[in-house]
Structure 1
């Protein structure tokens, strides 16, 4: 790959995830403190990710793959996203905020597939080369958190009190505009030629027959259910850290992304040494441990418990979701490979997270103490128990089988 193309793809990936990390993590702090939302309203805002994930396959499969160059659609979506982000920064209440965030996520979620499509179209050996491109996305997310916490101090106690977190949306709007314009300079990625995918293929419905396999059915259900604990983390971890007085919460949350990189490198060793079932069980158990650490840690002497809980993100995510993608690939075979991955994505980031965000919002409201405070020690017990139950059921019901590590 030419250096110029590598640089363009890396910058594209950096901005793609800088944008997401620049507002999504701290929205849970911004909404209750600036717009006065409750848990249910915060859940509505975060659930727009799920609606975006559900609608994204139609935008990609019915429009991008058929009629237009991927880089042009990427540019248009990010330019529209820049406008919507600007509107989010100027929303005075949640009624104004919600339509813009919903529209934004419907436009943003398809770009996750588009940046991959643009990258893969330029790679001679994606299995070896893509990782060097994708890692810049993680770097972008980390840099966004550091900029918010270190450079501008928007998530400091004073910054939160003065509503400075609205600037995260303005920062994201600028980054979206830059990526929108830059996208038109990316290598051309024309629409695919040949047979067009059907709606059932786009949604992964062709892979439903894989559910006849008992092991895959158990894994599928576990994947949907584990999204409930995952939703608690995405939706409320930042709010929790800010509320209990942890310094620079956005920066602290980037520890999770750093951990993700480390455990992604360790995953092949665990997978080959212990097999799929034990690896995924470790991922499930990590969810339970994380939330127990959140429940009993604090912003003082026990801050290290919260840091460990955040650092477990690499195990929680990589050992479950990445292992699950590998398992799905092995079960589907060549015939249903794309459909099976589409089905898992729709079931987890779509349906599973949608349910999870709603449950997390309801439970958070149940333990609201008034004046923006919550009984977090009680809230975190719920996802801990939920993840623990899934762990036990999976351990008992899933029969061990050999799965080769392929990526």
Structure 2
């Protein structure tokens, strides 16, 4: 099996694990009476991302090869998400928040670092085989999104999007990746033989990137944009499904198959990832990030305007721009960090990027979004009043994304040289 094909399988499974529940968990929580806690569940992904990716990145750089650590983390994540599914199955409608939340939290504490670790494995393997990561990685990463779509559609058309079975699907894919990861090429660790400072020994040198003004500003805005990352994952499904309570929409395909409709977002991702090499080399990271930020504004705005009936085209438009919003930020940002940092701290640097985006950013975003949605939506009992609350919430999120876009355009200074894609290329 070729190197690229092996990495394709890794990415397919990596994001299939997440896709099994990421966009549908909010719907399940709503059906068992935990709708007002959706924000907390998704915020936990951010909370653990504040420290776990950085810690695992340090371990991968210093002691355990990235591909092995990737497998170990997936084994632990699969065990606890399976336990969450088993508890949901046995508890039925009497699910205790603390128990389910605890099992889920431990699972995501081990899963979230694997996003950065899988990127690090791919970059390391590609570089060691003389591939240009900017050209070679995006097509490989596309299959991660395909895996995500596959898992989403599977839980939708099996009816699992409304119950605990989505957790078992995630666990099964996680076990497969745990086994597969030990067949991947060996990634180097940098134990070092020279005299080192404590910071060097612990792999904390990646945090010195904040001394570089350009990188510090980039990381800060990554955090601010990371606020938007999980909002639609947590609330798009419950929002679209809520139309089933409104006459005129209850029989529409979109209202009854929210996950399938949302999967168009991931279809858009697969196409947009392939555009990244061209856009990065021609326009540079600043313009690419600006496109991503403005796309988040459109993503939220279209949700606020649309409906699953005559206005379904607005929902479809929201799904289309998601590819730009997510990929031009997450994948391009990851590539930018990889190119701008020393290869000896590759995993640590990816961990810091993950910490700022899916950690601080996503945590702040979901806690704030939870307050907004609970205030405007779940405080209402009338379906029409809830729908109006959803629209107000989406407009608030859109306004935030627009403000971040304008500030980034003004503050982040980066002179792009098309002939030199990064300071590590010549």
Q: How far apart, in 1, do the equivalents of 2:164 and 2:334 lie?
A: 36
Q: How far apart, in 2, do the equivalents of 1:122 and 1:398 lie?
A: 32
In structure 1, which of residues 23, 26, 47 is the aligned counterpart of residue 24 of structure 2? 26
For 1:101-116, what aligned pairs fall within 5 Å after superposition? 101-116=104-119
5+ residue gaps, structure 1, are none
Deviations 1:234-253 (A, max 9, x none): 32122222222423222222
Cα contact 1:74–1:180 (8 A) shared by 2: yes
TM-score (norm 2): 0.80
Deviates more, 1:240-249 or 1:96-105: 240-249
Q: How far apart, in 2, do the equivalents of 1:117 and 1:218 lie?
A: 23
Deviates more, 1:323-332 or 1:77-86: 323-332
For 1:117-196, what aligned pairs fall within 5 Å after superposition? 117-120=120-123, 122-123=125-126, 124-126=129-131, 127=133, 128-150=135-157, 152-155=158-161, 160=162, 165-189=163-187, 191-194=189-192
Structure 1 residue 37 corresponds to structure 2 residue 37 = no
Structure 1 residue 393 corresponds to structure 2 residue 393 = no
CA distance 1:278–1:88, shift in 2 (3 Å): same
Q: How far apart, in 1, do the equivalents of 2:406 and 2:358 lie?
A: 23
Cα contact 1:276–1:403 (8 A) shared by 2: no
Partner in structure 1 of residue 248 of structure 2: none
Cα contact 2:156–2:257 (8 A) shared by 1: yes
Cα contact 1:45–1:98 (8 A) shared by 2: yes
5+ residue gaps, structure 2, are 89-94, 245-254
Partner in structure 1 of residue 49 of structure 2: 53
CA distance 1:394–1:338, shift in 2 (3 Å): same
TM-score (norm 1): 0.83
Structure 1 residue 384 corresponds to structure 2 residue 383 = no
Does the residue aligned with 1:230 lie in a helix, a strand or coil? coil
Structure 1 residue 370 corresponds to structure 2 residue 381 = yes
Q: How far apart, in 1, do the equivalents of 2:83 and 2:61 lie?
A: 30
CA distance 1:168–1:371, shift in 2 (3 Å): farther
Q: How far apart, in 2, do the equivalents of 1:12 and 1:380 lie?
A: 35
For 1:6-405, what aligned pairs fall within 5 Å after superposition? 6-34=4-32, 36-39=33-36, 41-89=37-85, 90-91=87-88, 92-120=95-123, 122-123=125-126, 124-126=129-131, 127=133, 128-150=135-157, 152-155=158-161, 160=162, 165-189=163-187, 191-194=189-192, 198=200, 201-202=203-204, 204-211=206-213, 213=214, 218-245=217-244, 246-271=255-280, 274=283, 276-325=285-334, 341-367=350-376, 368=378, 369-370=380-381, 373=386, 375-399=389-413, 401-404=415-418, 405=421
Q: Alpha-carbon deviation of 1:364?
A: 0.6
CA distance 1:272–1:18, shift in 2 (3 Å): closer
Does the residue aligned with 1:312 lie in a helix, a strand or coil? helix
Q: How far apart, in 2, do the equivalents of 1:203 and 1:56 lie?
A: 16
CA RMSD, aligned part only? 3.1
Q: Alpha-carbon deviation of 1:25?
A: 1.4
Deviates more, 1:121-130 or 1:168-177: 121-130
Cα contact 1:203–1:342 (8 A) shared by 2: no
Q: How far apart, in 1, do the equivalents of 2:145 and 2:358 lie?
A: 19
CA distance 1:217–1:363, shift in 2 (3 Å): same
CA distance 1:293–1:174, shift in 2 (3 Å): same
Q: Alpha-carbon deviation of 1:206?
A: 0.6
Does the residue aligned with 1:299 lie in a helix, a strand or coil? coil
Q: Alpha-carbon deviation of 1:27?
A: 0.9
CA distance 1:357–1:345, shift in 2 (3 Å): same
CA distance 1:204–1:18, shift in 2 (3 Å): same
